[in-house]
Structure 1
C-alpha cells in the first residue's frame, strides 16, 4: 500500500506541467493537514495526525506559525483477558517565528518560541525561546533556502518533575523545491543544543495536488532527545500520508 501511494505521488510530481511564472507573493497563506488510519481484526487501532501551517509576508516582517498533533488509540488484552482501549500516543507541538527584515530583506533578525507536550516522552513539557540571525540564501521560482541561528533558553520538566532548564544555541534550516505546478518537496531541520539535553527535529515531505486546493502529502518526521530515561527511546519517528487543504 505504501509503495502504491509513493508511486502515485512520484507520478504526479513528474507529470508534464508548465512551471509557474507568477512571482506575486501572497501576504498570508495557511494550510490544514489531516491524516486518519483505522484498523480492525487481529489489531484494532485508530491514529489521527493533524496540523495547521501558516506564513505571513509583510513589508518589514516574514512570519511562520505551526500547530500539529498526534493521537493513537489501541485495543489490547489486559491481565484479566478482556479487551481494553488504551492511548499509545498523544502529542501536541506549536511554534512561531518572526523574522524582522533589515535593509537587505534577505537578512533578518528572528525571534522564536515553541511548546511541546508529549504524553509518552521523557518530559512533561519542553518550551523554547530564542533570538538571532536569519538569512534567506536562495530564492527563485523553484527553490528557496533559509537558515536561522542564535542563542536562547530551554524550559524542560521531566516526568519525574525535574527541571532541566538551560541556555541553548538554536539552529534551523528550511528548504523548499517546487518540482512542478502540482508537486512540492520540503525539508526542515532544527536542533537546540543545551547543557542537559539536545533536542532535534526534522521533517521530509512531498506534497502533490489532487484537485484545486486539495493535496496529498507524504511525510517522514524525526524527533530526537539526548537525555532520556533508559526505558525510553531517544528517537521517535512518524511516517504519514495525509490530506492537505490550502485555505489561502
Structure 2
C-alpha cells in the first residue's frame, strides 16, 4: 500500500490515552513535548525527541491523536578518523475515534497507526483496526479503558518483503492524577498477526514546573516478535522531556 495513503488515513481517525476526569468538559486539549541531548568529546551526539498528543471530547465522539519522533546522530573518532552515523530515526503516529453508544462508557472504535523506523527490521508498519472500546471506570483522580477488535496490518521489511494480513489488536490506558501538579500514565497495546506480533508500552510520570509547563520522565518499549537475526526484537527509550499544555 502507498505510504502516503497510509499516513493520510490517520487524519480520519483518532488513539489513547483518554483525557483525565478534570478535562472531560473541555472540547479539545493538546500538549507538546520535546527533549534534547548534546554531547562533545571523543563521541559527539545529537538526540532529539518530540511529540504531540491531543484529545477531543464531543457529545457523540471521544477522539485521541498521537504523533512522536526520535532522531539521534553520532560522530565517533576512531584512529584519528571521524565517522558520522545516524543511530536512530523514527516517526510514529496513531489515532483512534470512539463512537459513544447509549451508555457513553461503551463505544465502537476505529484505529489507525503508521510507523517509519529507519533502523528497525521494517521499512514501515501500519495498522487499521475497529472493534469495542470500554471506559471501565473514571473517578476524579483515575481512569482506565481498553479496546479490542480485528484489524489489518501493512508492513514492508528493509529487504522489500511485504507482510500484510489480518490481526487482532488490544490496548489499554490507565491514568492517575497523583496531585494537582503530578500525574502518572500507562499505555500498552499489542497487535497479533500470523507474520508478526507488534507490541508497544509507555510508562510516564509528569510533574508541573510552572503554569502550562511540565517535565516528563518516560520509558517506552517497542517489540516485534519476527525480525532478522541481526536485529533486536525489543527497542527501549528512556527520556526526560519538557511538556507544554497548549489547551
What TM-score do you get using the length of structure 1 for normalisation? 0.89
Structure 1 residues 47, 23: CA separation in 2 closer, same or farther (over 3 Å shift)?
Answer: closer
Is 2:131 the counterpart of 1:112?
no
**1:138 alignment partner in structure 2:** 137
**1:221 alignment partner in structure 2:** 220
Deviation at 1:44, TM superposition (A): 1.0
Deviation at 1:42, TM superposition (A): 2.5
Work out the CA distance in 2 between the residues paired with 1:53 and 1:68. 8
Work out the CA distance in 1 between the residues paired with 2:167 and 2:21. 42
Report if aligned partners of 1:205, 1:217 keep a CA contact under 8 Å in 2.
yes
Structure 1 residues 82, 154: CA separation in 2 closer, same or farther (over 3 Å shift)?
Answer: same
Work out the CA distance in 1 between the residues paired with 2:23 and 2:72. 41
Work out the CA distance in 1 between the residues paired with 2:62 and 2:23. 17
Runs of 4+ in 1 over 6 A off after TM superposition: none
Work out the CA distance in 1 between the residues paired with 2:191 and 2:22. 37
Which residues in structure 2 correspond to 1:107-186 (within 5 Å)?
107-186=106-185
Work out the CA distance in 1 between the residues paired with 2:62 and 2:21. 22
Structure 1 residues 242, 21: CA separation in 2 closer, same or farther (over 3 Å shift)?
Answer: closer
Deviation at 1:91, TM superposition (A): 0.0
What is the root-mean-square deviation of aligned Cα atoms in Å?
Answer: 1.5
Structure 1 residues 24, 66: CA separation in 2 closer, same or farther (over 3 Å shift)?
Answer: closer
Work out the CA distance in 2 between the residues paired with 1:52 and 1:155. 24
Work out the CA distance in 2 between the residues paired with 1:21 and 1:235. 33
CA deviations over 1:77-100 (Å, ceiling 9, x no partner): 36x842122111000000000000
Which residues in structure 2 correspond to 1:1-248 (within 5 Å)?
25-77=25-77, 81-248=80-247
Work out the CA distance in 1 between the residues paired with 2:145 and 2:21. 22
**1:12 alignment partner in structure 2:** none
Structure 1 unaligned runs (5+)?
1-19
Report if aligned partners of 1:32, 1:247 keep a CA contact under 8 Å in 2.
yes
Structure 1 residues 115, 23: CA separation in 2 closer, same or farther (over 3 Å shift)?
Answer: closer
**1:4 alignment partner in structure 2:** none
Structure 1 residues 21, 84: CA separation in 2 closer, same or farther (over 3 Å shift)?
Answer: closer
Structure 1 residues 104, 207: CA separation in 2 closer, same or farther (over 3 Å shift)?
Answer: same
CA deviations over 1:15-54 (Å, ceiling 9, x no partner): xxxxx99676211000000000101112211100000000
Report if aligned partners of 1:34, 1:243 keep a CA contact under 8 Å in 2.
yes
Structure 2 unaligned runs (5+)?
1-19
Larger radius of gyration: 1
User: Number of aligned pairs?
Assistant: 228
**2:10 alignment partner in structure 1:** none
Report if aligned partners of 2:21, 2:142 keep a CA contact under 8 Å in 1.
no
Report if aligned partners of 1:23, 1:141 keep a CA contact under 8 Å in 2.
no
